Amino acid sequence: MMNLQKLLNNSFSFIIAFLLTAPLFMGCSENKKSEGYAARVNDTYLLESDVSSHTKGDSLNPASRSEYVQNWVRSEILYQKAVSEGITKDDEFNFLLDKAKKEIAATLLRKKVSDDFKVSNSDFDLKKYYDAHPDYFKINDMGFFFDQVTFSDAKKAASFRETAIARGWSIAIGSLREEKNGIEISKNTFRLDHQLESGVLFRVIHFLSENDISLVLDTAPGVYVVVRLQKVFQQGAIPPFVAMRNIVESRVLNEKRGEMMEEYIKELYDKYKVDIKGQEKPY
């Protein structure tokens, strides 16, 4: 039998990650044949409604849907096989499951407390933090600062691009304000080279000069993108605050949440009976 400690060392982090994402795959239902389903394993069904809800961010991307369904099938097959092999009755399984429950509960509590923590940072405060810590924002890859408009209609995307070239980007954006269905406007977007989501965008943006407007990019089935490149930053550069604002805000929020969590745990130390043999309590 595999050494239990070795099993814990090699597998526990994977188990935690799997169980934390398990709700994504728990949209299955027993014997719901009357509803449309995307896949089934024996009498366990993955309903179309559940696939749609879990892939709504990529609803226009068939590849994402297919990957989700395939992952569900693999997980369900392995789970049913594990049950048939009696693995869910093993002492090792139940030991790991009990430990995982505690870790998951603690993780979800941290998430709840963190999500409930609200803080508002003014641009003045964020700029002050940015100015005080410039090295935090030195980029380790080529960076791109750009505006992007995403359409679900190719003709509208082409019309927008024509207006942007003929009359300017701002005027073209203004023409979209009353027509928001199927249109997403992203302003002052900053991405490192390796963070560019679309392969088409990755290839095209490298050939744009500053203030150039791209062709209509077919980034996925039914998804059409027009980009205006504002500026390119080389590796090692510190982009200006306007480009890094969202990153600065995220960093400041994470730091404040970390400080808040330490205070929260300190309060729990006082509330619960904690005794650490041979050591002083950290709080």
pLDDT of residue 89: 94
Taking only the tens place, the pLDDT of each residue in 40-49 is 999 999 998 8
Is the model's pLDDT at 2 over the cut of 50? no
Mean pLDDT of the chain: 86
Instruction: Give one DSSP letter per residue of 235-276, joined into a string.
Output: TT----HHHHHHHHHHHHHHHHHHHHHHHHHHHHHHHS----
More confident residue, 21 or 74: 74
Q: How confident is the model at residue 245 (pLDDT cuts 50, 70, 90)?
A: very high
Is the model's pLDDT at 122 over the cut of 60? yes
* Whole-number Å distance between alpha carbons of 88 and 42: 19
pTM > 0.75: no
Q: Are 32 and 62 in contact (CB under 8 A)?
A: no
Taking only the tens place, the pLDDT of each residue in 71-110 is 999 999 999 999 999 999 999 999 999 999 999 999 999 9
Q: What is the mean pLDDT of residues 206-218?
A: 95
Domains contained in the chain, CATH given: 4-108 (no CATH), 117-135+248-283 (no CATH), 139-233 (3.10.50.40)
Q: Are 151 and 182 in contact (CB under 8 A)?
A: yes
Question: Which region among 47-56, 179-188, 269-278 has the lowest average model confidence (pLDDT)?
Answer: 47-56
Kindly state the tokens that stand for 175.
Answer: 């023409």
pLDDT of residue 1: 43
